[in-house]
Amino acid sequence: MKNPLLWLFAFTTFLLLSGCSTLKIDVDHDASFSFDTKKTYAIVHSDRESDNTLVNDRIHNAIKNSLNLQGYKEVSKEKAQLIFVFHVNVMQRSDIRTDYQMIGYPGYGYGFGYGGYGYGPGTAMIATPSTYRWQEGRLVIDALNPKNKKIVWRGTVTDELSRNSTTTEEKTEYLNSVVSKVMKKFPVK
């Protein structure tokens, strides 16, 4: 960019937008398991009655696309060298914050304070509590060893869910992005 002010604005905007992300990714794995020879997978997910099958299908497709891009091949559960399962959970969260506000005007006047009744500033501090509520979504993706059904890799993504994703395309794009970010950490190198 030729204009340094425009470059500074773009960089600052990038920092602000990236700093606002609430996305948290955590990965764990079995250090004794070798991923080097594993090239086939199956995704197994059983929908429960209360599950949102639209979301589950989007997550299933996003995992499949991420693994295919890494060179893995989807096969039947019986032939798979890795079995992937995923779990979705949405929880209501809240946080109570207290803001302190000064009321009145500076100066001297009568009032109660340290040491009893007397002269002091004519202002008071008022505590104003406010409650912030949001939905937190958690996606857990597990890779299992099909021989013993033990978890050999786990990726967990936690994010504050936005009410701004209203269209099907926005929801699909968001889930693809989230799954892609956690699956970039698979396999452990």
Q: Name which of 41, 28, 24 is nearest 146 in CA terms.
A: 41
Q: 3-state DSSP call for residue 162?
A: coil
Which pLDDT does position 79 carry in this prediction? Answer: 96
Mean pLDDT lowest for which of 61-75, 108-122, 134-148, 166-180? 108-122
CATH placement of domain 21-93+138-183: 3.30.160.670
Q: Is 99 exposed, middle or buried (0-12, 13-18, 19+ CB in 10 A)?
A: exposed
Q: What is the pLDDT of residues 12-42, one digit of tens each?
A: 344 344 445 689 999 999 999 999 999 999 9
User: What does each C-alpha distance from 19 to 15, 22, 23, 27 come to in angstroms?
Assistant: 6, 8, 10, 21
| Over residues 70-74, mean pLDDT | 96
Q: What is the DSSP string of 135-167?
A: EEEEEEEEEEETTTTEEEEEEEEEEEPPS---S
The residue ranking higher by pLDDT, 148 or 5, is 148
The domain ranges of the chain are 21-93+138-183, 96-130
The Cα–Cα gap between 156 and 25 comes to: 6
Which pLDDT does position 121 carry in this prediction? Answer: 54
The Cα–Cα gap between 14 and 73 comes to: 36
Q: What is the pLDDT of residues 147-156, one digit of tens each?
A: 999 999 999 9
